[in-house]
Amino acid sequence: MKPGLERIRALLALMGDPQRGYPSIHIAGSNGKTTTARLAAGLLAAHGLNPGLFTSPHLQTVEERFEVGGEPMAPEDLGPVLEEVLPFAAALEERTGDGITYFELTAAAAFAWFAARAVDAAVVEVGLGGRLDATNVLDAAVAVITSISLEHTEYLGDTTAAIAAEKAAILAPGRTLVTGRLPAEALEVAGARAAATGSAWLCWDRDFSVAEARPAVGGWLADLEGVYRAYPGIRLPLHGRHQMVNLAVAVAAVEAFFGRALDPQAVAEAAAAARSPGRMEVVRRDPLVLLDGAHNPEGTGALAAALAEEFPTRRWAVVFGAMADKDVPAMLRLLAPAAAGFHTARAAGSSRARPSGEVAALASGETPVPVTEHETVAEAVAAALAGDDPVLVTGSLYVVGEARTALGLGPGG
């Protein structure tokens, strides 16, 4: 990880700046940005556009990061795309002596692939922060901040206002900023950034909102108040009341992109077709298995609220693993009321993962339920399934991805 825009700007300049070939929606936030990005791309497609979508991290395979027209990149397409980008990366590294990072390479590959596929628009998720993120080479028509919480403080700052400033820096002059449910300090920073750049600002609960949300089979039914009109009776087949906020933010972003009201039928169709793997995702019914990549206290709080609201009588065998820089005790305390027991594991896919033994020790100190330490996520999942309780896998998207593989699920399915 090497924050900074010098390498990606130089690389894209060598490639002919493919990111300038289409308008874009740029999405930052501590939580909810992947789901919001997926919903925004679906809304664009429902209105007849051919959108590109770039998200991160992936759960199982790198191709998951790239989509065009709602279809993920095929495995056989990744090699040719990288073969086009790598010579430029090698030339830049030879000239500067500064290596291109993994994320910079995937972002450049996405921009090039979108140009080659002649997308009408791109929805691009920020990797980390915003100001120095490799995606911040876009001159996006719409910038979105879904949420703000204290995270990655070694890179982004140790206050809500500082982190908000890093994320708000994706807003280009004269464009439109859309903000979700943000703390007051973050809203102040967002408003100041919009004013300083001469940009319009659309704010949750002022310019758009969820008028009413009701639980439905497999998800939620809601009436949305958009920027330009109301969208009643929208069904979203995702668990968690917070997903309705993500949908409202996505609708506002696409309204801002078009500068007008959306087709209510298209909004309904896009919402009904929504999927967000690894986010409050039910992957089995017997036994019940739920996957949620809540990776910080804000995300875990949303998960805990969703469990209490939608599964109030359930107590879960929780498979849990987290990154070393997260407030794990806070996350465990939030999950404890719904837990029948914890199975801790370290995600093999990340060098930043906290060792299973450390997580188990913290869980034993923070919760009264049984705690079992495991070497791998697959072992933890198998042990959880061997019991009589429903299974919840959470704490990190890396843990969720490894659990999907252990459960025999393919990417996105």
Query: Which DSSP string do the residues of 285-343 spell out, in sequence order?
Result: ETTEEEEE---SHHHHHHHHHHHHHHSTT--EEEEE--BTTS-HHHHHHHHGGGEEEEE
pLDDT in tens, 371-388: 999 999 999 999 999 999
pLDDT in tens, 48-84: 999 999 999 999 999 999 999 999 999 999 999 999 9
pLDDT for the residue 195: 98
pLDDT in tens, 171-192: 999 999 999 999 999 999 999 9
Burial class (CB in 10 A: 0-12, 13-18, 19+), 132: middle
To which residue do tokens 């972002």 refer?
107
Q: Which residue has the higher pLDDT, 281 or 412?
A: 281
pLDDT for the residue 269: 98
**Range of the structural domain that residue 341 is part of:** 281-406
Q: b/e map of 260-293 (b: 16 or more CB within 10 Å)?
A: eebebebbbbbbeebebbbbbbebeeeeebbbbb
Burial class (CB in 10 A: 0-12, 13-18, 19+), 146: buried
Domain endpoint, select from 177, 203, 229: 203
> Does residue 247 lie in a domain region?
no
Q: What is the CA radius of gyration of the chain?
A: 21
The fraction of the chain above a pLDDT of 70, given in percent, is: 98
Q: What CATH number is associated with residue 45?
A: 3.40.1190.10
Q: Which amino acid is at 179?
A: T
Q: b/e map of 18-37 (b: 16 or more CB within 10 Å)?
A: bbeebbbbbbbbbbbbbbbb
SS3 218: coil
- Maximum C-alpha span of the chain: 61
How far is 251 from 44, CA to CA, in rounded Å?
10
To which residue do tokens 């609708």 refer?
251
Q: Do 168 and 74 fall into the same domain?
A: yes
How far is 384 from 342, CA to CA, in rounded Å?
9
pLDDT in tens, 251-289: 999 999 999 999 999 999 999 999 999 999 999 999 999
Is it the case that residue 155 has pLDDT exceeding 70? no
> Does residue 310 lie in a domain region?
yes
> Does residue 17 lie in a domain region?
yes
Q: Which of 363, 308, 311 is nearest to 341 (CA)?
A: 363
Q: Do 199 and 289 fall into the same domain?
A: no
> Does residue 209 lie in a domain region?
no
pLDDT for the residue 46: 98
Q: Do 191 and 301 fall into the same domain?
A: no
How far is 153 from 197, CA to CA, in rounded Å?
26
pLDDT for the residue 72: 95
Q: What residues does 339 pair with on adjacent strands?
A: 316
> Does residue 225 lie in a domain region?
no
> Does residue 256 lie in a domain region?
no
pLDDT for the residue 153: 56
pLDDT for the residue 350: 80
Task: Tell me what the mean pLDDT of segment 40-51 comes to.
Answer: 98
Q: Do 163 and 14 fall into the same domain?
A: yes
Number of domains in the chain: 2
Q: Are 396 and 323 in contact (CB under 8 A)?
A: yes
Q: Which residue has the higher pLDDT, 24 or 413?
A: 24
How far is 37 from 253, CA to CA, in rounded Å?
10
Q: What residues does 145 pair with on adjacent strands?
A: 28, 179
pLDDT for the residue 352: 85
Q: Could you tell me which residues come within 8 angstroms of residue 10 by beta carbon, excluding any fewer than 6 positions away?
A: 92, 96
Q: Which amino acid is at 90?
A: A
The CA-atom distances, in angstroms, between 218 and each of 18, 70, 236, 272 are 40, 21, 8, 11
DSSP string, 79-117: HHHHHHHHHHHHHHHHHH--PPPHHHHHHHHHHHHHHHT
Burial class (CB in 10 A: 0-12, 13-18, 19+), 102: exposed
> Does residue 215 lie in a domain region?
no
Is it the case that residue 154 has pLDDT exceeding 70? no
Question: 196: pLDDT confidence band, cut at 50, 70 and 90?
Answer: very high
Q: Are 295 and 33 in contact (CB under 8 A)?
A: no
Q: Do 53 and 191 fall into the same domain?
A: yes
Query: Tokens representing 80?
Result: 């040719």
pLDDT for the residue 157: 67
Q: Do 196 and 308 fall into the same domain?
A: no
How far is 341 from 337, CA to CA, in rounded Å?
10
Q: Do 198 and 289 fall into the same domain?
A: no
Q: Which of 283, 284, 286 is nearest to 275 (CA)?
A: 283
Q: Do 29 and 139 fall into the same domain?
A: yes
Domain endpoint, select from 182, 203, 224: 203
Edge-to-edge order in the sheet of strand 391-394 = 281-285, 288-292, 391-394, 316-320, 339-344, 371-373
Is it the case that residue 413 has pLDDT exceeding 70? no
pLDDT for the residue 29: 96
Q: Do 92 and 190 fall into the same domain?
A: yes
> Does residue 182 lie in a domain region?
yes
pTM recorded for the entire structure: 0.95
Angle between helices 264-272 and 33-46 (to 10 degrees): 130
Query: Please, what is the average pLDDT of the chain?
Result: 95
pLDDT for the residue 362: 96
Q: Do 51 and 190 fall into the same domain?
A: yes
pLDDT in tens, 304-347: 999 999 999 999 999 999 999 899 999 999 999 999 999 999 99
Domain endpoint, select from 149, 178, 203: 203
Q: What CATH number is associated with residue 389?
A: 3.90.190.20
Q: Do 293 and 187 fall into the same domain?
A: no
pLDDT for the residue 351: 82
Query: Tokens representing 398?
Result: 């890396």
Q: Which of 1, 113, 142 is nearest to 52 (CA)?
A: 113
Q: Do 19 and 150 fall into the same domain?
A: yes
How far is 353 from 375, CA to CA, in rounded Å?
12
